[in-house]
């Protein structure tokens, strides 16, 4: 194996139907119009020296190293900023150019440390390469004059250093921060000899830098370099894999030395990220080898006992024996399983297969249900398929972008950078959110409208927008006639035109000015291609499914479906939320979203699995917990999920877990749920497994093993061994064989194979005979269900209401540097940016309660209370408070309720009535949490001796 070297064309490759022919160094070449001379030369294999140019950035023309001669033109223009012209004759190698380039390089090197042998970028430095390419052998200028050789080194960022003495002020880092990331954190400070790169006059850690790594990747010298490279040296081979954080699904080159990851480099050919990354995927992978990883199986009789290390065989034997005992004693339906949105498609498929075929019931659920199940229900009902309609690249064609209940800059930063690029090109923006997220106003981005609604009023607002479209004659009637069911549309149009749905009537409910709602609706309907992007602020409500259908109604009414730049696009939270749903992780559906009661589908699975399957839906997670509390549900297999921290109403969750007799946890750390477990099966990180993830745009990406599993078994192997111990035999030699079975059983995956994935790089389902290369845009000629179905979306206020005891509304969300429940990111340096969850509260609400910034406050609801630090913030409107849920010690879900979506049971995390007051003590729950943490630390576990 060797390092994967990607071609750098120097400037972006242009797309054009018009082609231009020219001659470079005597060789004819034809390229798309708009291509630079530099890129045209590279296309034919001729590398022109460069320093300030790279194909991820627009041409800049500052280094003067890429000079060429063009017949008929005076001077020596820069090839990066010179577009090709028909019949142009270019010379890239002449004696004149050689002299000029050596002179330029000599000036660069005259103010650069000559420590190549000990430099961290030795062998991976473009400046070093270019000095060799131009034949520089001596420097005529000494170091006696002014220079920058003693400039300080900034080591404040936990992941990379900034060594100013090696900076050549090529501006690549500054431009990457602007053009690729869109943060504008870096600038060139000073002029002439005093020019230097500056992160806003402070150090990198204290600056606006979001540590996405774009500047590090763009740097042609050792000025910006990963600390891991400085410590471990240059990597020697690489493997392409997929990030295991959010639903963007970025492709990376894991660059290795042996089995040690040196760095993760975003892969330019990754269709989801196109060479970009965020702080989590780029740098926060150290958790995979963290000292707290559990790499040996463990068992115990009672949860008050210490763990005992055992062999894999003993662990499987014990777990299988307990599950069999429970089913014999309490019945076949007394056990179940939970799949993970962090695991691969193949691993998730096996868990639901184990439950259905091995346990003999349909008691399988997934953490995806507690975030995006309303997406599946709402989109399948209206359009016919349970997923988003576009690929990420489609946003570049959008004229109007609507962001509803999502915070892309924190939750999906790589996609947010792509979106911000389009917004800087003058696309219009509507933000619908109770909180003033960064997109409302940030560098070079300003929302046209921020509809700052009250939590829980989404459906009322979407109905008001639709009311404007219908009553003001903005409906795309031709589209409706061709694509939608006319009777359904007429019924919906009459419903939505009622005065009670008007912005003026709805203003009292939502708190959004009627004029703003009317203007936003007109912009969406008439502004050109209009695309909706939404997140958990839509789905995690008691009317989550209704809201998804409401958005589909609005998109169909205006004809904003079925082409580039439009659509309804869920921003999935975890890396494989889409995949875990696709694989049949719900108690009522097989893979491909087909109901278990459908005889033809069920018989197909039975024939391949050689076992009869149940036709009645099983239990969802809340039902399992309810049944456990009632004494009827006693066993649970949980793969890669921490429901004690992530699910709502924590005290009810833990009561259910405490009532069970055998909980089997499969994970990489002893999480909060593991406190209630009886068997612990070590899991594997994404770096230790083969498989696939499916991202938010339905893109199936390969996950490739870069190191052996630390515990000796990958997750898919563990599930197989457990199933075999139970008596239901599974026989797979490699995850590719599991995917082959998935493709045989799942129509949307019918054309998917590892061979095709390796050939194409990635595939967006549906992939079948009708679309052998996949489907970037859904519903192009017709909806999957045939005619689009308009649904009546009656606004029903949530049962969770404010009152004298609980006058405020709590809503929750995520932050850039931490991920989900923090099991991974809290074990990395990312915690330096977000050490604890805080409560954002408006100055009015804080002042009326005597709260100042930094005070400890008690956040109480009808379910319970927690203590956390107050952050005074005008991001929130009066009457609404906000917190994240990344730290276990916070216990944010202690206060959330058990209200849920009417159709899918997706919890209503986003609306909780609360009170906030100053305090000087921890909540009762947090006191119990800390006591349990101390108790666990006192338990001596023989970690170095196997039974």
User: Which is nearest to 489 in space by CA: 793, 783, 790?
Assistant: 790
pLDDT value for 148: 81
Q: What is the mean pLDDT of residues 515-543?
A: 96
Which CATH number does the domain housing residue 284 bear? 3.30.70.20
Q: What is the mean pLDDT of residues 80-106?
A: 95
pLDDT value for 369: 78
Whether residues 363 and 377 share a domain: the answer is: no
**Backbone φ/ψ region at 475: left (φ over 0), alpha (ψ -120 to 50), beta:** beta
User: Which is nearest to 214 in space by CA: 17, 57, 29, 8?
Assistant: 57
Whether residues 408 and 498 share a domain: the answer is: yes
Domain-embedded: residue 795: no
pLDDT at 354 over 60: yes
pLDDT at 126 over 90: yes
pLDDT value for 937: 62
Residue 788 is encoded by which pair of tokens? 């689009």
Domain-embedded: residue 876: yes
- Give the end of a domain, one of 706, 739, 772: 739
- Give the end of a domain, one of 524, 553, 570: 570
Instruction: Classify 619 as helix, strand or coil.
Output: coil
Rg (CA), the chain: 29
Where do we find the tokens 């691969």? 344
Q: Do 385 and 379 touch, CB atoms closer than 8 A?
A: yes
621 vs 814: CA distance, rounded Å: 23
Whether residues 504 and 609 share a domain: the answer is: no
pLDDT at 510 over 60: yes
SS (H, E, C) 573-612: CCCCHHHHHHCCCCCCEECCCEECCCHHHHHHHHHHHCCC
CB-neighbour burial class of residue 649 (10 A; exposed 0-12, middle 13-18, buried 19+): buried
pLDDT value for 943: 46
Which CATH number does the domain housing residue 837 bear? 2.40.40.20
Whether residues 545 and 597 share a domain: the answer is: no
Q: What is the mean pLDDT of residues 312-334?
A: 97
Which CATH number does the domain housing residue 673 bear? 3.40.50.740
Domain-embedded: residue 140: no
**Backbone φ/ψ region at 559: left (φ over 0), alpha (ψ -120 to 50), beta:** left
pLDDT at 138 over 90: no
Q: What is the pLDDT of residues 838-886, one digit of tens each?
A: 999 999 999 999 999 999 999 999 999 999 999 999 999 999 999 998 8
Residue 947 pLDDT level (bands cut at 50, 70, 90) = very low
Mean of pLDDT over the chain: 93
pLDDT at 371 over 90: no
Residue 938 pLDDT level (bands cut at 50, 70, 90) = low
Q: What is the pLDDT of residues 225-254, one digit of tens each?
A: 999 999 999 999 999 999 999 999 999 999
Whether residues 427 and 501 share a domain: the answer is: yes
pLDDT at 945 over 60: no
263 vs 708: CA distance, rounded Å: 17
**Backbone φ/ψ region at 182: left (φ over 0), alpha (ψ -120 to 50), beta:** left
Q: What is the pLDDT of residues 195-222, one digit of tens each?
A: 899 999 899 999 999 999 999 999 999 9
Whether residues 521 and 406 share a domain: the answer is: yes
Q: How many domains does the chain have?
A: 5
CB-neighbour burial class of residue 121 (10 A; exposed 0-12, middle 13-18, buried 19+): buried
Residue 388 is encoded by which pair of tokens? 């988003």
Least confident of 91-95, 212-216, 491-495, 896-900: 896-900
Whether residues 365 and 269 share a domain: the answer is: no
Q: What is the pLDDT of residues 776-804, one digit of tens each?
A: 999 999 999 999 999 999 999 999 999 99
Q: What is the mean pLDDT of residues 352-374?
A: 91
Find the domain containing 444 and state its range.
373-570
pLDDT value for 946: 39
Domain-embedded: residue 763: no
Whether residues 902 and 929 share a domain: the answer is: yes
700 vs 272: CA distance, rounded Å: 10
Which CATH number does the domain housing residue 25 bear? 3.10.20.740
Q: Give the residue with greater pLDDT, 94 vs 889.
A: 94
Which CATH number does the domain housing residue 392 bear? 3.40.228.10
pLDDT value for 367: 83
Domain-embedded: residue 82: yes
- Give the end of a domain, one of 289, 313, 343: 289
Residue 146 pLDDT level (bands cut at 50, 70, 90) = confident
Whether residues 195 and 318 share a domain: the answer is: no
| 314 CB-near residues (< 8 Å, 6+ apart) | 297, 299, 947
pLDDT value for 221: 95
Domain-embedded: residue 766: no
Q: What is the mean pLDDT of residues 300-307?
A: 94
Whether residues 428 and 564 share a domain: the answer is: yes
User: Which is nearest to 223 in space by CA: 166, 170, 265?
Assistant: 166
Domain-embedded: residue 433: yes
Q: Do 886 and 816 touch, CB atoms closer than 8 A?
A: no
User: Which is nearest to 644 in space by CA: 629, 634, 656?
Assistant: 656
pLDDT value for 890: 85
Domain-embedded: residue 656: yes
pLDDT over 90 for what percent of the chain?
85
Eight-class DSSP state of 502: S
Q: What is the mean pLDDT of residues 900-926?
A: 87
Whether residues 440 and 390 share a domain: the answer is: yes
Least confident of 162-176, 274-288, 541-555, 918-932: 918-932
Whether residues 220 and 115 share a domain: the answer is: no
Residue 936 pLDDT level (bands cut at 50, 70, 90) = low
CA distance readout (Å), 6 to 9, 127, 199, 235, 629: 10, 18, 29, 15, 56
Residue 372 pLDDT level (bands cut at 50, 70, 90) = confident
């Amino acid at each position: 194996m060797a390092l994967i070297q990607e071609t750098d064309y120097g400037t972006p490759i242009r797309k054009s139907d018009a082609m231009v022919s020219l001659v470079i160094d005597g060789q004819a070449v034809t390229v798309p119009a708009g291509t630079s001379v530099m890129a045209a030369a590279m296309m034919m294999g001729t590398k022109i020296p460069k320093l300030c140019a790279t194909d991820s950035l627009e041409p800049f023309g500052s280094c003067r190293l890429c000079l060429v001669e063009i017949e008929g033109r005076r001077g020596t223009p820069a090839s990066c900023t010179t577009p090709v012209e028909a019949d142009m004759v270019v010379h890239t190698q002449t004696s004149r150019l050689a002299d000029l380039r050596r002179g330029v390089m000599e000036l660069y090197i005259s103010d650069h440390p000559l420590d190549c042998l000990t430099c961290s970028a030795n062998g991976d430095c473009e400046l070093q390469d270019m000095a060799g390419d131009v034949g520089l052998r001596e420097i005529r200028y000494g170091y006696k004059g002014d220079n920058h050789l003693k400039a300080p080194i900034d080591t404040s960022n936990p992941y990379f250093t900034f060594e100013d003495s090696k900076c050549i002020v090529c501006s690549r880092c500054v431009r990457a921060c602007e053009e690729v990331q869109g943060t504008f954190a870096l600038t060139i400070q000073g002029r002439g000899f005093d020019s230097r790169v500056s992160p806003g006059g402070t150090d990198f850690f204290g600056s606006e830098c979001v540590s996405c790594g774009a500047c590090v990747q763009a740097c042609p010298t050792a000025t910006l370099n990963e600390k891991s490279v400085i410590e471990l040296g240059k990597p020697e081979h690489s493997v392409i894999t997929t990030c295991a954080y959010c639903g963007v699904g970025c492709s990376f080159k894991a660059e290795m030395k042996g089995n040690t990851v040196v760095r993760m480099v975003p892969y330019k050919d990754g269709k989801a990220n196109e060479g970009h990354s965020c702080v989590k995927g780029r740098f926060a992978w150290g958790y995979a080898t963290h000292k707290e990883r559990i790499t040996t199986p463990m068992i115990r009789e009672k949860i008050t006992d210490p763990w005992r290390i055992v062999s894999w065989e003993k662990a499987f034997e014990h777990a299988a024996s307990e599950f069999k005992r429970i089913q014999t004693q309490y019945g076949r339906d007394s056990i179940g399983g939970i799949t993970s949105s962090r695991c691969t498609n193949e691993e998730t498929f096996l868990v639901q297969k184990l439950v259905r075929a091995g346990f003999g019931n349909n008691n399988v659920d997934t953490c995806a249900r507690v975030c995006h199940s309303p997406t599946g229900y709402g989109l399948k009902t209206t359009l016919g398929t349970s997923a988003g309609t576009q690929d990420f690249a489609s946003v570049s064609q959008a004229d109007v972008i609507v962001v509803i209940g999502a915070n892309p800059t924190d939750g999906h930063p790589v996609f947010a950078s792509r979106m911000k690029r389009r917004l800087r090109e003058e696309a219009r923006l509507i933000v619908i959110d109770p909180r003033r997220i960064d997109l409302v106003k940030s560098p070079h981005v300003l929302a046209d409208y921020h509809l700052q609604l009250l939590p829980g009023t989404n459906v009322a607002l979407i109905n008001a927008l639709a009311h404007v479209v219908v009553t003001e004659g903005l409906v795309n009637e031709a589209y409706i006639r061709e694509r939608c069911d006319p009777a359904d549309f007429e019924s919906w149009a009459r419903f939505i035109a009622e005065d009670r749905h008007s912005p003026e009537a709805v203003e009292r409910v939502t708190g959004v000015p009627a004029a703003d709602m009317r203007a936003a609706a007109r912009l969406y309907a008439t502004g050109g291609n209009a695309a909706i992007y939404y997140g958990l602020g839509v789905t995690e409500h008691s009317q989550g499914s209704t809201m998804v259908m409401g958005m589909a109604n609005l998109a169909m009414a205006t004809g904003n479906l079925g082409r580039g730049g439009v659509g309804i696009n869920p921003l999935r939270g975890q890396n494989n939320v889409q995949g875990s749903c696709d694989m049949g992780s719900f108690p009522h559906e097989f893979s491909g979203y087909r109901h278990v009661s459908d005889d033809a589908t069920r018989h197909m699975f039975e024939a391949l699995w050689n076992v009869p399957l149940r036709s009645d839906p099983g239990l969802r997670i809340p039902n399992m917990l309810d049944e456990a509390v009632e004494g009827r549900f006693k066993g649970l297999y949980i793969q890669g999920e921490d429901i004690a921290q992530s699910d709502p109403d924590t005290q009810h969750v833990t009561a259910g877990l405490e009532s069970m007799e055998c909980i089997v946890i499969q994970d990489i750390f002893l999480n909060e749920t593991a406190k209630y477990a009886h068997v612990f099966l070590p899991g594997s990180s994404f770096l230790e497994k083969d498989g696939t993830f499916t991202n938010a745009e339905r893109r199936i990406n390969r996950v490739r093993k870069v190191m052996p599993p630390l515990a000796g078994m990958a997750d898919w192997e563990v599930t197989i061994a457990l199933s075999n111990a139970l008596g239901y035999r599974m026989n797979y030699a490699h995850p590719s064989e599991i995917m082959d079975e998935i493709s045989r059983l799942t129509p949307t995956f019918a054309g998917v194979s590892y061979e095709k994935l390796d050939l194409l790089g990635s595939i967006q389902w549906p992939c079948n005979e009708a679309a052998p290369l996949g489907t970037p845009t859904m519903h192009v000629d017709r909806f999957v269900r045939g005619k689009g179905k308009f649904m009546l979306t009656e606004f029903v206020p949530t049962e969770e209401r404010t009152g004298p005891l609980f006058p405020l509304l709590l809503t929750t969300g995520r932050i850039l540097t931490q991920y989900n429940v923090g099991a991974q990111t809290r074990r990395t340096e990312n915690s330096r940016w977000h050490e604890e969850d805080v409560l954002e509260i408006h100055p009015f609400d804080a002042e009326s309660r005597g709260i100042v910034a930094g005070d400890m406050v008690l956040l109480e609801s009808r379910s319970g209370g927690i203590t956390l630090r107050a952050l005074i913030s005008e991001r929130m409107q009066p009457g609404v408070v906000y917190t994240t849920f990344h730290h276990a010690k916070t216990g944010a879900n202690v206060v959330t309720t058990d209200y849920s979506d009417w159709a899918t049971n997706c919890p209503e995390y986003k609306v909780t009535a609360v009170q906030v007051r100053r305090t000087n003590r921890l909540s009762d729950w947090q006191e119990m949490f800390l006591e349990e943490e101390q108790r666990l630390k006192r338990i001596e576990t023989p970690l170095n001796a196997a039974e």
